[in-house]
Structure formats: C-alpha cells, structure tokens
Amino acid sequence: MTALTIDPATLTYTANAASRTYGSANPNLSGTITGFVNGETQATTTGGTLAFTSPATAASKVGSYAINGSGLTNNGNYSFAQAAGNATALTIDPATLTASLTGSVAKTYDGTDAATLVLGNYTLAGAVSGDNVALNNPTSGRYDDKEAGSGKLVTVSGLALSGTDAGNYALASTDVSGGIGLITMPPIDNGVLANLIGRPVTNTALTAPAAAAPASAAGASAQGASDATSATSDATSATTSGISEEPAPASAVASTVGQSLSGAPGSVPSFTNVLIQGLLRQFDPRPGASRPRAVPSVDQIYSSWGNEAFWQ
C-alpha cells in the first residue's frame, strides 16, 4: 500500500522594483508574499514581520542588485521562495557630475574666437570623496566672438570622464560655458595704424628746411626781406590755426591718436578710421611737403565727423 505524501505549499516573496543613484542610501524596500491556499492568509498562517532588504550599500557600484524578502514563519504547511525578479530588483544608477569653468581665459586680440584653457580652468562637483574620477580638461574652446572685452562667454565641448571609478558617474553635459573670457587689445603702434589706414606711417621725425647759404650784402638784404615776409606769413598761419606747428615724429602722433581714438575694444569703427586718417594726413604729409599741415579746430573735426571728403 502506497502512503500519501502532502508537500508544503510555496509562499513567494516578490519585491517591488526600486532604484537609487550611486553613493546614496537604499530607499525603503517593499514587496508582497503570495501562495496561500484553502482561504488562508498571511495573518492566519504566518508569524513574524515581512521585510525586504538588499545586500547593496552606499558604496556599491552602478548595477543591479537583489531585493530579498524575509522575516516570516509558518505552521509547517508552507515553504518560502524568492521570486525570480528579486535578483535584480534594485538598480543603482550613475551619479551626476557637473563641470564648470573658473579662473580666467585670457589672450591678446588676434582676430579669432579661439580660446586656450588649462587644468586650473575646470572644476568637477558631485563625486564621492575618495573616488578616482577626473575630467579630461580639453585645452581648446571658443569665445562668444573674436572682439576684445572682459567677462566674455567661453564654451568648451567634448568633456569626458576618466579614472577607475568613472563608470559610476555621468556628466550633466559634455559642454560647459562660463563668463571667464578676456581678450585685450594689442599695443597700438605704427604697424597697427598702417594696417588700419592702408598705408605706411613713417617713423622719422619731420625736419625743418635746410638753412640758405650765405649771400652778398645786397643779396642778403633782399633775402632778409623775403625771409621776413615768409616768417610773417608763417606766423599768421599759425595764429589762424591756433595750433603749434612744431615738428614732431609721426610715430608719436600716430601712437597718441591710435590710443585715444581707437574706438571700441577689438575694432576700429569706420568713423574712427576716417578721423585717424585725417589726423595722420595732417602730421604725416605727402612726399615733398616740408612740414605738417595745421590740425583743424575741434569744431571743424566734429562738424565733419565721418565725412572723409573733409580730409582730402
């Protein structure tokens, strides 16, 4: 005669899926138990307290981890088992790191928007203390434009993470921008002004006409009268212009004009270019001229601002 064997029914712990970011504590874990028969329930059949836990800790790497049910006892008619999905019910996601720019990215105006950065221009926030993770710190970036100025926006692309713990993190963005740019104007000299006005500027001081050779007494008398007349004419011209006509190196004039009238940093607006051309023509006369021409009065300059015909 064969004996009848009644095996225990299976009660299954089923965990609810959960997730968190790397470096943080596990959330509250929960689940259910199923498999009761004959109208029995957890309350009428089991003792203890239902609980769900995970072996994952705050230091666990990114990946999937188990959430296991436990804590119940029964009257012997049941056995306990974990649902298949419990083995990967907890997901640890990469933590987000945020890159930013700091310090200053400076250069002298060169007509391009290219920016050069160094290691000290980058910061990386959000990493767990002691983790080996770093930014690749690109050396090339872009200013918002090529013009001179301070507080300019600098943008860098192609950011990436490296290090043995880099797999536990993700960058908030692979691009980063910051108002740390500085483009300064180059020193304005004759070479720069020559480029601006389209013709060279001499670097030689203007000289007075050579003195006449001695003449006979009669000739000297006539020559003296002529010189007196010329001197009177020169004095009248100087008085009328109101400006001293002492010879001066064209380079000094060009430097002064360029520094005071160069316009907005990084550029020379057209009206400034016209003014520079006009003033240089006064102090840097065309070949054959013996001295600079008189500079027009301030009222004349401003009344003809932008009118290039005035300077012809």
For residue 129, report the phi and psi dihedrals to the nearest 5 degrees.
-55, 130
pLDDT reading at 309 higher than 50? no
Side by side, which strands form the sheet with 122-125? 122-125, 95-101, 169-171
Q: What percent of the chain is modeled with pLDDT above 70?
A: 60
pLDDT in tens, 191-249: 544 444 444 444 444 444 455 555 444 444 444 444 444 444 444 444 444 444 444 44
Contacts of 141-144 with CB under 8 Å at 24 or more apart are 141/105, 141/114, 141/115, 141/116, 141/117, 142/113, 142/114, 142/115, 143/105, 143/113, 143/114, 143/115, 143/181, 143/183, 144/113, 144/181
Based on DSSP, count helices (H) and strands (E) in the chain, helices before strands: 6, 18
pTM for the full predicted model: 0.59
For residue 172, report the phi and psi dihedrals to the nearest 5 degrees.
-60, -35
pLDDT of residue 206: 43
pLDDT in tens, 112-148: 999 999 999 999 999 999 999 999 999 999 999 999 9
Q: Which of 128, 56, 121 is nearest to 92 (CA)?
A: 56
pLDDT in tens, 177-207: 999 999 999 876 555 444 444 444 444 444 4
Longest dimension (CA), the chain: 169
